[in-house]
Amino acid sequence: MAVRSRSNMPHRLPKYCTEDVDRHGNPRIYFRRPGQKKIRLKGIPWSEPFMESYRLAVEGKLQSEPSAKRPKAKPNTVRWLVEEYLGSAFFSDRCPSPRTRKIRRRELEALCEKAGDEPISSITAKVIRKGMDRRKDKPEAANTFLKALRGLFAFAVDYEHIPADPTASVKKLRSHNPEGWHTWTVEEVRQYEQRHPIGTKARLALALLLYTGARRSDVVQLGRQHIRDGQLKFRVYKNRLRKHVEIEIPVLPELREVIDATSEKGDLTFMISDHGRAWASGDSFGNKFRDWCTEAGLPHCSPHGLRKAGATIAAENGASEPQLMAIYGWSDPKMAALYTRKANRKRLAGDAAHLMVPRQTENETVPLSGSVENSGTKTPKNTRKINAI
């Protein structure tokens, strides 16, 4: 049976009906009066089965399906440990970011589907390594899985549910892409600019990302209130619940030109969606920016790649590690050192490349082309060819 897409459904629904999408991407239609529980309506909207369900819901004869309650987990099982962990202050404190909590929950729920009823002691280092082996084709997914388990068993040790952490000896997998996101080249920036001229939202997005060094999660929050006396000042969104990092950089003329020339922008946020509202998250904005990149013939480019390009250009132009840390909000000098090392390596190689070419000194003796007798008279070579003896 083919799955219905949103495009196949009528855009207008009966009164009190709303459309929702489940985690598999399938559309669902619900009937819900204000203050009442929602009721699932099965069938294609406006079809006879659907309208019959709708009539019963309006008359109050159709009740919402009771949600199946999961039986209480047995103590000292994996599911029991996961439930204890997710409901603890330990989890909230170690994972303050909603995004991080969402990822950890997803990984641990998948673990419970496979081994929820197993005793905690059955999850050994060997079992975890086998789990990493099953994900070896996707090292990032394997490492995300390992991070979730490390958090779980750190909680278990801290709360004295187990004596030792089985993840302690398990190492992360090396990435198949150690360089990470593709770094934009100057040519790719020019190609994007040709496709999206000044005045478009796509060009504004590029300028904000490139000329501020901000992450996509920061770009969607930047607005006029962040500019004072020619300076752009904002608090970094990433890790905001752990530590506060303030960024203050001058508004470059190139950025000011693009902002002033863009009519379709907001006040509290420069970047607005197609619905005229601020972007709900950096992720949704990032997806739209990838669409703009694809339109420009750059499907391999991303918002983070622009941040890397800006740091690369700044380092090659002579920016020091403290200067890069101030621009990009890094608290650890390791990241800044990575860019300065690359820039220095490139600069040193360019300065020293000519040293690979051998040079002739002024006093060097040039050997004669033929043999010389003791008297100094050059003897001619015998040019006669001998075919046989």
Residues 6+ apart with CB under 8 A from 335: 324, 328
- Using one digit for the tens of pLDDT, what is the confidence trace for 117-142? 999 999 999 999 999 999 999 999 99
The pLDDT-based confidence of 334 (bands split at 50, 70, 90) is: confident
Burial of residue 38 (number of CB atoms within 10 Å: 0-12, 13-18, 19+): middle
pLDDT tops 70 at residue 308: yes
- ∠ CA 252-253-254, rounded to 5°: 90
pLDDT tops 90 at residue 190: yes
Burial of residue 104 (number of CB atoms within 10 Å: 0-12, 13-18, 19+): buried
| Other Cβ atoms closer than 10 A to 230 | 9
* The pLDDT value given to residue 386: 41
* The pLDDT value given to residue 137: 92
Burial of residue 314 (number of CB atoms within 10 Å: 0-12, 13-18, 19+): buried
The pLDDT-based confidence of 105 (bands split at 50, 70, 90) is: very high
The pLDDT-based confidence of 382 (bands split at 50, 70, 90) is: low
pTM of the model: 0.62
Rounded Cα distance, 185 and 110, in Å: 40
Q: Would you give the DSSP letter of residue 245?
A: -
Q: Would you give the DSSP letter of residue 119?
A: B
Q: Would you give the DSSP letter of residue 170?
A: P
If phi > 0 it is left, if psi is from -120 to 50 it is alpha, else beta; for residue 184 that is beta
- Using one digit for the tens of pLDDT, what is the confidence trace for 57-85? 998 888 776 655 667 889 999 999 999 99
Residues 6+ apart with CB under 8 A from 290: 299, 301, 302
Q: What percent of the chain has pLDDT over 90?
A: 46
User: Can you list the pairs that 289-295 forms with residues at least 24 positions away whose Cβ atoms lie under 8 Å?
Assistant: 289/202, 289/205, 289/209, 289/216, 292/192, 292/196, 292/202, 292/205, 293/192, 295/195, 295/196, 295/202
Phi, psi of 98 (to 5 degrees): -60, -35
pLDDT tops 60 at residue 104: yes
The pLDDT-based confidence of 367 (bands split at 50, 70, 90) is: low
* The pLDDT value given to residue 68: 59
Return the higher-pLDDT residue of 202 and 353. Answer: 202
In the block, tokens 């490390």 appear at 150
For residue 247, give the nearest of 325, 340, 339, 337 by alpha carbon.
325
